[in-house]
Chains A and B, each alone.
Chain A
Amino acid sequence: MNQQTEALISIQNVDKRFGTFQAIHDVSIDIQRGEFFSLLGASGCGKTTLLRMLAGFESVSAGRIMIDGQSMADVPPHHRPVNMVFQSYAIFPHLTVRDNIAYGLRKQRLPRLRRYEMVEEMLDLIKLPGYGTRRANELSGGQRQRVALARALIMRPKALLLDEPLGALDKQLREQMQLELRALQKSVGVTFVLVTHDQEEALTLSDKIAVMAAGRVLQIDTPAGLYENPANREVAGFIGNMNFFIGKVIKTGPVMADLQVEGLGHVQVETSVIRQPQNARVLLAMRPEKLTLSLDPPEGALNSVSGTLHTTAYLGGLRQFYVMIDGRADPVAVSTQNQRRAMPQDIEQGRKIWLSWHNDAFVVLENT
């Protein structure tokens, strides 16, 4: 058995029941060595439960969990080769930072000097040199989070489990910590498994993301894969903004297929992405930034349609336009980058607007 190609963590057909409530349904996930893997989903989707099952704080109702080829059945948390960073950080208040970080080293019976050395190395790693003698209540939230990281990493775990570690921080600090976390993982090379409800966070940090809802995995893919090729409507709607269109297959040619789409009229997509037969209904999804907005009819062979401007939203780096088109009840969301500092004259509501897009702008989802 070649250990290098086998997944580090293998969750196989796992169920979890709390009494009569089923929290996890038949979940299977493989996490590779050195990967930054995220479990993404709304509150109550089961992602934290899954993480706690990896750590050993929840038992498995059905299926099994393998870590580095060993089954984790009946193995309690203190014997597992993984370590966890808790949502509340759980920094021990009665110990100093140094004693917190060195906490798990007791069983190794290292000489005290060696322990302190290792702690100092860790403190440098998390950019808090010299903080060893401070107490937990003297630290800020961000500092405590880093101590929690150090405390777990010093154990040389095979995987580091993080339960919404950045949730308690304000936006600025969170974004800064995200970048630091990513850099840390890359430099240290340990497998990270992160749980979050913040899709931006997941997209920023991860090599692979598992999107979960109601105890099931909807899709496992890279961030780009999830964003550009969502497998179904749920994933498409969960990640970022999305416009949905209902269409009908008119004709499937050898290269391109013709669709009749509400509001947009006649649309062409590549035949390879159509799995539905002729006359079948399809659901098309298009990201707001894949549409181009113009005041005049666009030139060239781009697909286009006209509509009227409904509302705009200014988001600093982006502008979001909502455009009403005939044949469709909801407005179409279009986003453009604000590349120039001087604002163009505002487009008044009700103005006639042209939208255009490329052939590959659509994603075709299952026909629901």
Chain B
Amino acid sequence: MATALSNAALRAALYRMLLMRRAEEEVIDLATNHENEIRGHYHVYIGQESSGLGACLALGPDDYVWTTHRNHGHVIARGGEPGPVIAEVIGRTNGYNKGRGGTFHVIAKHLGILQTSGIVGGCVPMAVGAAFSIKTRKTDQVSLVFFGDGVLEEGAFHEAINMASLWKLPVIFMCENNSVPPEGREQGQYPSSSLAATQLIDVPNAMNIESHIVDGSDIRAVAPLLSDLVVRARNGEGPFFVESRLTRWPGNMGAFPELIGGPYQIGWVWDPSTADAALQSWLTDSDPIALFARALVEEGVMSKAEVEADDAKASAEAADAKAFALSGPIPEPESAMDYIFA
């Protein structure tokens, strides 16, 4: 079992979560208040920070991470800088993909993030392929793939887990199920209207893949579990499946993200009743940042003032990131044909 995170690590984790959230708020700002920066669809990771960060903390620098259309938070959790992430979202040349990927495809090779995909389940076969490569090269890398609960409806997922299990590949399938009400995050069954399985983990279990359910909103549940599984995967005991259960942020209920009641206010952590009615119960029961911050203060790891100071710092860093992005050049039309072939 992994050792518990030190106080410094806990504080750093909270900062990272705040940074992830504030960066996503800047993305929403760009979509809402800046004409023509983001006209299409985009997806934010607000409300799921603990899950992505908890998993990424367990990984080493050489491991691979794969993700989905909801990738901004994962990239930052993995150590990506918010500036190039946001720049990529708005298609500037100082983005991680030089503006060619956009919101769905923020890729950072130096962080081991080799692909994100707008195709549901699109990265799962690739993650298995990378794990196959790891195994044949005999390194101790791990391939971790994030995806949502909808992926279990796609055939490619099943094909991929069959092969991962058959060949005992070092893959961690990290399923972020964000449709779970608060009381269900640790136990219980969640039937979906589009999946006949009442327990998501029954599916990988049927393929002899060791599977775990974890409360994704609790970083201190996610991090040790993932650390453990990563170590075991390095030892050839994989693959593993984790269902990280989360309760969806109310601002992500509609077709486009919405900052209900405006940007997050750190005061809501201490007093949810000051927030918009639509947010209150989520803030009380399910907001990973609120839960974590409250716990850290209660345990004496941080003071309220320190939390607020870190939030201010994260907000400033996110604002700088947005400025960095907006200052980035728009790609030259002459460069449109670059990067087609190697």
Q: Do A and B bind each other?
A: no
B-side residues, CB < 8 A to A, are none
A-side residues, CB < 8 A to B, are none
